Every structure is written in C-alpha cells, then in structure tokens.
Amino acid sequence: MGAGPYIEPNPPVALVERLRQAVPGAVLRSDEFRGEITVLVATGKLADAGLFLRDDPECAFEMLTAVVASHFLDRDYEHEVAYVFYSLSKNHRINLKVRVGKDEVIPSLTSIWSGANWLEREQYDMVGVRFSGHPDLRRIIMPEDYPDHPLRKDFDVEGGPTSLDGEGRPASPGWRDMEHQ
C-alpha cells in the first residue's frame, strides 16, 4: 500500500458523444459548468442511457451517487431530476438530467443500480416525483400517512402547503425576500 498515483479529475467530454451514438435520441443537451458535465436526457431513454453508462467499458459508471429532484412552478416542465454517477475504475463523474411534466413518470434505475431504491424513494417522498418500475415506492422520511411533499415550491417553509392564488401565506418562492419579513 503506497500513496498511490493521483488521477486528475477530468471531465469526460468524449463520453457524451459515445452516449449520443449508442443511444440515439437520448442526448438532448450537454452543458459543462465548473468541471462537471450535465447531460439532459429524454425521459423515455433514461433507462437505456443508464444501462449503457454502466456497462460500456469506456464509461463504467458503477456507482449511482445521488438523485436530486427539483420542483418548478413557472416552467413548461414541473420536475427536473438530476442523477450523479461516479466511475470507480475510470475515476470520472457525469450528471444526467430529465425533465417531466405534472403527471409524467420517470423510469426507475433500481434494476441497474440497486442503490437507487432509497434515493428514488426519498425524492418521491420529498418532491413528489413518481418512478415507474420501482419495487417499493413508499415514503421513507415522512410518516406513511403524510399527505404532502414538503420540498415542493408551493409548500411553505413555516406551515403546510399553500394555494398559489389564495389569500393566505405566500408560497415559498425558493427564498424569502427579506424586505418583506
């Protein structure tokens, strides 16, 4: 056991092209920000893209690190779900993103990475995104009989869900404007 060679983290730009060719129609857009590559993927192609990213020897993303769903009030999609993948053998990371509307479901990645089980359950619980093909899509953090999804933007941080056009408390817009406190 020595100090070991250090592998510089290197954004795997070439992989996006590989994915584009291997799964036609999957890659909608690709961005690079602060050394991270984020690929916007068509929802229907997510499972295919995931399988390719895990099994392709150049990609070899053995690990699903995080699943993060964000809720939006004012866009033509309601949820954006980001996945962070890591490759142990190649030592690189890539992020995938899918965007879905109000009643759309996202294919679950549990059959590809078993660790997706709890990660997807948590996002379903907190944000209300639904995953199809998930073996056990129950709430995980909030109580079973809890009616709401607290990380949605129409859920006020100090109380419960608020109606967007009602008279009551303003819905949490993502941050509280301090001038109106």
Partner 1 sequence: MSAETPHGAPGAGAPPDGGLVGRADLHPKLPGMAAELPAGEDALHGEQVVLNMGPSHPSTHGVLRLVVTLDGETIKAVRPYVGYLHRGMEKIAEGMTYNQFVPYTDRLDYLAPLSNNVAYIMAVEKLMGITLPPRGRVVRVMACEIARISAHLLWLGTGALDLGAATVFFHTFRERETLYNIIESLTGGRLTTSYTRVGGVSRDLPDGWTKMVRDFTASFPKVLDELDQLLTGNQIWMKRTQNVGILTAKDAIALGVTGPNLRGSGVAYDVRKTEPYLGYEDYDFDVPIGSKGDVFDRYLVRFEEMRQSVRILNQALDNLPGGPTDIDDPKIVLPRKDDVLRKMEELIQQFMLVTEGFPAPAGEVYHAIEAPKGELGFYIRSEGGKSPYRLFIRSPSFVSLQAIEKMAVGGLVSDLIAIIASLDPVMGEVDR
Q: Give residues in contact with partner 1 (CB under 8 A).
A: 1-4, 6-7, 9, 33-34, 36, 38, 62-66, 68, 70, 82, 84, 88, 91, 93, 95, 113-115, 117-119, 122, 126, 139-144, 150-151, 155, 157, 172, 174-176, 178
Q: Which residues pair with 29 in a beta bridge?
A: 40
Indicate the residue among 44 and 174 with the shorter CB distance to partner 1.
174
Indicate the residue among 24 and 76 with the shorter CB distance to partner 1.
76
Least separation in angstroms between residue 98's CB and partner 1 is: 14
Q: How many CB atoms lie within 10 A of CB 150?
A: 16
Which stretches within the chain are classed as H helix?
13-22, 46-55, 116-127
Least separation in angstroms between residue 21's CB and partner 1 is: 25
Least separation in angstroms between residue 58's CB and partner 1 is: 18
Indicate the residue among 45 and 71 with the shorter CB distance to partner 1.
71
Find all residues with CB under 8 Å of 120, minimum gap 6, and list them. Answer: 67, 108, 109, 110, 131, 134, 137
The residue among 102, 84, 101, 105 whose CA lies nearest residue 93 is 84
Indicate the residue among 19 and 61 with the shorter CB distance to partner 1.
61
Q: How far apart are CA 76 and CA 69, in angstroms?
A: 16
Least separation in angstroms between residue 63's CB and partner 1 is: 5
